[in-house]
């Protein structure tokens, strides 16, 4: 199963990204969570079963690493329209 990339998953407590990651994991989906820093929030995502990648949405190399070879990308940037893309890099 291709993982679903969730950006903003390590945001401050109660954030939408974290909630989305938790809901997907509860549904049995594979989740790749993007976190900006290697810290306790990234570890908390691992603890609930997410694969964590460290990166920044504004850094193209980070995004390539986060997306990987095959990943379903779902996210929202600063309240704008949702992003839906399927990557086969």
Distance separating alpha carbons of residues 75 and 13, to the nearest angstrom: 17
Q: What is the pLDDT of residue 29?
A: 94
Q: What is the pLDDT of residue 52?
A: 95
User: From the first residue on, what is the mean pLDDT of each consecutive set of 10 residues in the chain (89 residues)?
Assistant: 86 79 94 93 95 91 79 50 45
pTM of the model: 0.74
Q: What is the pLDDT of residue 45?
A: 95
* Architecture of the 4-88 domain: 3-Layer(aba) Sandwich (3.40)
Q: What is the pLDDT of residue 42?
A: 94
State whether residue 62 is helix, strand or coil.
helix
Q: Please, how many CA atoms are within 13 Å of residue 9, restricted to the half-sphere of its CB?
A: 33
Tell me how many degrees the CA angle 18-60-9 measures, rounded to the nearest 5: 5
DSSP 87: E
């Amino acid at each position: 199963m291709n993982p679903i990339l969730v950006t903003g998953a390590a945001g401050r407590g109660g954030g939408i990204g974290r909630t989305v990651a938790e809901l997907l994991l509860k549904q049995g989906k594979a989740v790749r969570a993007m976190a900006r820093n290697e810290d306790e929030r990234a570890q908390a995502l691992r603890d609930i079963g997410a694969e964590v990648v460290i990166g920044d949405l504004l850094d193209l190399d980070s995004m390539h690493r986060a997306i990987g070879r095959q990943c379903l990308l779902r996210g929202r940037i600063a309240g704008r329209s949702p992003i839906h893309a399927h990557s086969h890099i």
